Every structure is written in C-alpha cells, then in structure tokens.
Amino acid sequence: MTTQDTAHITRFAPSPNGRLHLGHAYSALMAHKLAGSGRFILRIEDIDLGRRRQHFIDAIYEDLAWLGLSWPTPVMIQSSRFDIYKTALNRLREMEVVYPCWASRADIRDYINTQQGGREAWPVDPDGAAIYPGLYKDISPSKRDAMMWEGGNYAWRLDSEKAAAIARQKNGVLSYFEASQQENVDINPGLYGDVILARKDIPTSYHLSVVVDDAAQDISLVTRGMDLQGATHIHRILQILLEYPEPEYYHHELVREADGRRLSKRAGDIGIDYYRDQGYGPEQLIGECLPPLTG
C-alpha cells in the first residue's frame, strides 16, 4: 500500500517573499498527491513581516491554480494569528522550557571564536549554523527578571534538554514516523540546540507557528523537502509538550540545479511564471522539469 492510498490532510505552506520556483511546484504537487482521497490545504507562512509582499501572495494563488491545484478557502494567513502563537508560547513559559536570551549574532560569534578551535571546531546544526552556546541559559532568576524589566532585544529559546525530558515523561519514547521510508525515527533533542521559538517583537518563529498551525488544521501527513527533515526533531517535542496530535511525515527529495545546488528564492532561481511565459503547459512542466512524483 502506498502513502496516497490513505486519505490524508496535507498542506503546502510557502512564504510570500518571492515567486515560487520548481522546487515549490514539486512540493505542492507532492502534497496534493499524497492527500489521496483526503484534503490538500494551502497556508501562507508570512511571519517575516519585513519580507512579506501581497503581490507574492497573489502570485502563489496564480501559480498553483495554473498547476491545476485547488484548496479550501479562506486560506490561513499566519500574520493574523500572532495572539494564538503567543498563547502557545505562554504555555511553554509556564512549563519553564523556554528562557529569554539577549545574545546577538555577534555575541555568539565572538564567544565561539574565543573557545579552543574557534568556529571550525564548534558543533553545527543540520543547516550549518553554530549551535547556540547557552550564554544566558543559566543566569539567576533575579538577573533574568532585571534584564527583562530593562527591556532590550531578546529572543525566547527552547531549553532543548529540559523540554525533551518533560516530553519523555509525557510520551515515553521520542520518535516520529517517516512515511517516505516507512520507519520510526528517534528524536535527537540536541540536533539544533536551544533554538529560537519567538522574539520580543514577534511572538513566534517557524518552529512554533508551524506546529501550532498543523495542529489547528488537523494535518495528518506533513509533506516537505528533505532540507526540513531535521526540524522534525524540534517539532515533535513541541507537539508533545503542547498536547497536539502526532502527524506522520513525508520528506521528499529536493529539486536541484545541474550542479547539485538546491533551488532557492534568494538565489533568484527561475520561477514557475517563467515557464508559463515561455509557453509551457502544466503537464509539460511536470513531465519535463520535475522529478517523478512518488509516494
């Protein structure tokens, strides 16, 4: 039995900070296929207000419709849900599994450079970023309260070790089901270290908002690229702490350039609209430019 033989609720959740490229087309089509006889949902992930553009949201609708996809309306827009994310963050604060951190990127970089071996010897996460060294993790409650009273820019970080310990108490074994391989994957709480879940001015991050919204939309199969597979180690812990249902996961292959580089909006890779303007039809684009849709 293949994944799409089951009725799933899946979603495609792009950020409106550029035109969709072939990688997005593949991901959306995969999510639609794996929904089977269930439901495919579109969600706009626009918590990065500085890069959000309405014309990119309009283009997302246009490009996906051209591909032959449809979805329920109204579409969930994350920027309208900050109060909901704040409520989830407050639940985590009550559990004392998050803490405020005033360290800037420069502070973190400078600290790591003073350690033996410097940046080259420092552990990194799956994205290649340095693991946070815990500069404000163990300060006294009185100092923490005083610094929060003084203000300044800070972020809320997940205490990954403590969060995992509480999640184990609640759920036992920490794992998620990888549907693409039909196997359970053990969670590694330290894979990303103490990640940022929110900031002083924006009460959420990708990790928190995606977990909250997947639960709110009853997503039963999270489909996304393999570049986000590591994030599942964070998301599964948050789901347990927040007492959300456990979805299955399907991490699909990435669409890459001929040199192996994965496609990126920031790199200015060619958008779906380019192929449409060149006279491609949806079937031709899918048949000639994308890997086979499997699952």
Say which CATH number the domain at 151 has.
Answer: 3.90.800.10
| The predicted structure's pLDDT at residue 294 | 77
Report if residue 150 sits inside a domain.
yes
pLDDT at 261: 44
Residues 202 and 277 in one domain: no
Residues 89 and 207 occupy one common structural domain: yes
Same domain, 72 and 89: no
User: Which distant-in-sequence residues (6+ apart) come within 8 Å of 270 by Cβ?
Assistant: 21, 22
**Tell me, what amino acid is at 104?**
S
Question: Do residues 85 and 201 share a domain?
Answer: yes
pLDDT at position 1 over 50: no
The percent helix, strand, coil of the chain (3-state, each to 5) is 40, 15, 45
pLDDT, tens digit (0-9, with 9 covering 90-100), for 62-117: 999 999 999 999 999 999 999 999 999 999 999 999 999 999 999 999 999 999 99
* 218 in a structural domain: no
| Residue 71 backbone dihedrals phi, psi, to 5 degrees | -155, 160
Q: What distance in Å separates the CA atoms of residue 198 and residue 211, rounded to the nearest whole number?
A: 13
Q: β-strands 196-199, 155-158: how paired?
A: antiparallel
CA atoms 81, 83, 89, 91: torsion sign: negative
Whole-number Å distance between alpha carbons of 167 and 165? 5
Together in a domain, 73 and 101: no
Pair (64, 111) in one structural domain: no
> Domain boundary residue among 156, 184, 212?
212
pLDDT of residue 94: 97
In a domain, 125, yes or no: yes
Range of the domain at 186: 81-212
Domain count, the chain: 2
Query: pLDDT of 189-245, one tens digit each?
Result: 999 999 999 998 899 999 999 999 999 999 999 999 999 999 999 999 999 999 999
Same domain, 101 and 203: yes
The answer to the question of residue 165 being in a domain is yes
Q: What is the DSSP track for 95-112?
A: TT-EEEE---HHHHHHHH
Contact 255, 290 (CB under 8 A): yes
Domain boundary among 186, 212, 238: 212
Q: Which two tokens stand for residue 50?
A: 């500085």
Sign of CA dihedral 14, 67, 40, 55: positive
131-154 per-position pLDDT tens digit: 999 999 999 989 998 998 887 899
Same domain, 90 and 208: yes
Task: State yes or no: pLDDT of 25 exceeds 60.
Answer: yes
Tell whether 99 and 162 lie within a shared domain. Answer: yes
Where residue 2 falls among pLDDT bands split at 50, 70, 90?
low
Query: Same domain for 128 and 143?
Result: yes
Cis peptide before 74 (omega within 30 of 0): yes
Phi (first) and psi of residue 148, to 5 degrees: -70, -35
Evaluate whether residue 222 is within a structural domain: no
103-118 pLDDT per residue, tens: 999 999 999 999 999 9
